[in-house]
Structure 1
Amino acid sequence: MTSLNYIDLRSNKLYGHIPSCFRGSVYYIDFSSNRLSGHIPASLMNGYGGNDTFLSLANNRLTGRIPRSFDNINFYNINLSGNRLEGDASVLLGKAKFSTQIDVSRNRLSFDLSNVTYPEFLMELIISRNRIRGSINEQITELQWLGVLDMSYNRLCGPIPSGLRSYPSSTFEHNKCLCGTPLPPCT
């Protein structure tokens, strides 16, 4: 299947591991809402160099870490929410990325958010219900298109950047020690 480029098998009852044979021209994979388990193959989507890469593995039973090889992929949209993934998700972030939507919520991810930079055209960032620590980098306030933001239920600390004060308190609730509008003032 060398010319295969679009795979949509969402909302089935698929189980087992994700095969590592999808690479080259595949730019769209949606395996969300199944019963897939095991690790995300490091070779998944390797070889495709476009900026329109779409990957949704949401609501499965995946474990392990987000592959370091994802650092070399420009995901337009990536959704890994609702799994049991651990470790560092910062490979999905970075100023040079072209991502518009990133959702890694409801996992067991644990990394320091303090020095992370964000894709310039990011419109949606959902990292809630993880174990992410550190502070919120001021660079996030430079994102002109950011509309959806959820950093709740993590271990973040420090003042909320003033450019994020228009978001509701639910965006930042249940963190270790975030403070400032829209949460209680810093002491």
Structure 2
Amino acid sequence: MAASPRAPVAATLFAVVAFLMTRCAVAEPPPSERSALLAFLTATRQHERRSLGWDASAPTCGWAGVTCDAANSTVVAVRLPGVGIAGAIPRGTLGRLANLRVLSLRANRVVGTIPGDLLRLPRLRALYLQQNLLSGATILTRIARLGGGLERLVLSRNNLSGHIPSALGNLTALQVVRLDGNRLSGSIPSMILAGLAVFNVSNNDLSGSIPKSFARFPPDSFAGNRHLCGDPLPPCGGSRL
């Protein structure tokens, strides 16, 4: 019996589909990204942290808290909130994730400062490091040197000190800035950030008049700064008992 003329076509299509499925199944970020994540985990390993289940034999894009792009070709987000991570973020770990867009390490015990290589990532859009133990007066100055793409900066409830740099206004894509619950001092610099929807610097040690560009935010955004004045707080020059 003669073979159907459609058989070779069907076999070819099957082979192509099988090949594509195999390619998709083994798609992985570059080894440098995988090793960067493992190096970060090893350097911050603490006994009180629950296991993340990052199995070196499993696909990177399936690890808890790790998000890859649609093709599984690169890591675009690391979200590890409240998992007991303790210690400083080591240089040469997360800063090697060249396409990282979102980093969330909120509600951990991250100490010290933010390494420079992490703050040089060109595609970083959101940085959530609230409720940690970050400290020092240089973090905001270094963040201000980031490319203009940063949209969300949340550093609430840390131990940051020093002034809010006026260069923060160069990050023109900012939509959210939360610096509340730190030890920041000095005045709030005048910045024009047209897309800014959330701004909170409450519970610091700021002083002086609130710039007019921030007067549109509610009083709660500035509460807890005894020497801060001006709209939306009481006017400057009056009695502040």
TM range (shorter): 0.7 to 0.9
Within-5 A mapping of 1:5-154: 13-14=49-50, 25-50=74-99, 53-74=101-122, 75-87=124-136, 88-90=138-140, 91-94=142-145, 96-118=147-169, 119-139=171-191, 142-154=192-204
State the TM-score, normalizing by the size of structure 1.
0.81
Q: Residues 27 and 45 of structure 1 are in contact (CA less than 8 Å); yes or no, is this contact kept in structure 2?
A: no
**More helix per residue:** 2
5+ long unaligned stretches in structure 1 = 8-12, 17-21
35-44 or 109-118, which deviates more: 109-118
Separation of aligned partners in 1, 2:83 and 2:97: 24
Structure 1 segments, 4+ long, off by >6 Å, are 4-7
Q: What is the SS of the residue equivalent to 2:131?
A: coil
Which segments of 5 or more consecutive residues in structure 2 lack a partner in the other structure? Answer: 1-27, 38-48, 53-65, 67-73
State the AA in 1 paired with 2:50.
L
Q: 1:176: how far off?
A: 4.0
Query: Which range moved further: 98-107 or 85-94?
Result: 85-94
Structure with the greater relative contact order (CA < 8 A, sep ≥ 6): 1 or 2? 1
Amino acid at match of 2:30: S
1:116-174 deviation per Cα after TM superposition (whole angstroms, max 9, x unaligned): 323101000000000111211112xx211100111101111111011211211000011
Amino acid at match of 2:161: S
Identity across the alignment (%): 27
Q: CA deviation at 1:36?
A: 0.9
SS in 2 for 1:99: coil
Higher alpha-carbon Rg: 2
- 1:19 aligned partner: none
User: What is the distance in 2 between the residues matched to 1:86 and 1:15?
Assistant: 27
Change (3 A) 1:83 1:73: same
Structure with the bigger percentage of strand: 1
RMSD across aligned C-alpha pairs, in angstroms? Answer: 2.7
Q: TM-score, normalised by structure 2?
A: 0.64
